[in-house]
Amino acid sequence: MEIPFVKMHGNGNDFVLIDEYGGGVIPDEMKPAFARLYSERRFGIGADGVLFLSRSDTSDIKMRLFQPDESEAEMCGNGIRCLVKYAFDAGYVEERCTVETRAGEIPVTLGYREDIFQASITMPTPAFGREDIPATGKGEYYEQISGYDVYAVNTGVPHAVIFVEELADVDIRKVAPVIRNHPTFPEGANVNFVEVVNENEIRIRTFERGIEGETYSCGTGATASAAVAHHLGYAGEPDKKYVGTKVLVATQGGLLTIYLNEETLMEGPAATVFEGSILF
């Protein structure tokens, strides 16, 4: 059969999207293997994962994300922006909507600004305590692993945050897997290396579990890194628009803006790359 798909990205974090709003296309038991096959960049379409969009009993739409290792992610900030762009363009949602994920319901405000799609996502509140992530050592969410000071925080997905002087000096392929698989993180973790640019901006590189490699951008990682940077007093400027603190996060694929207050917001773009069909 022929299966329509859309290739999309949020700051270079790219996805294959399958529209199941009108009904199931890929059986649930086949979704993990489907993601592994079509995320492959040489023998498939190539992506950091496959998004499945469907109706929801509790929210406006539902998102499921399967990764190249066949695991299902709790949520994904860049993936949500891609999902809501597609849903908005298809007429499934309006400029305010909610998305059902495994990490809970995610409210989103979205739209086009001078032909560029932008979405502001209400992220899960960053969780630092050991009730959420079992970390030990200096403070409730600190541990030293392989010579690095590692801060544990959950933003819908478990993250490790490490501050370094120069991102270019980090051998991410060597160091990150050790931290990603450390017992501190029983479910594994995305690993973010962070360089403080100035009092308003940080720069990050992220190694993602499930992809088992570095990605161009990670929305939950940007949120986690901004939250820890602000918590430690490294970055964050007052923002009158949101009556809170703003941190600019430069990823390899572009800029994300994180707002920290009673609510945590992530703002950034999403783009459609191309459409096609799979003979399956």
Q: Which residues are catalytic?
A: 76, 218
Q: Which residues pair with 267 in a beta bridge?
A: 120, 257
Token output for 74 = 């709790």
Identity at 196, one-letter amino acid code? V
Q: Say how far apart CA 124 and CA 276 lie, in whole Å.
A: 33
Q: Which residues fall within 8 angstroms of residue 188, CB to CB, at 6 or more apart? A: 158, 180, 181, 209
Q: How many residues does the chain have?
A: 280
Q: Say how far apart CA 121 and CA 108 lie, in whole Å.
A: 5
- The b-or-e profile of 236-272 (16+ CB within 10 A means b, else e) is beebeebebbbbbbbbbbbbbbbbbeeebbbbbbbbe
Cα angle vertex 203, ends 266, 109, to 5°?
A: 10
Token output for 39 = 């995320």
User: Distances in Å between the alpha carbon of 23 and those of 18, 28, 104, 153, 157?
Assistant: 11, 12, 22, 36, 28
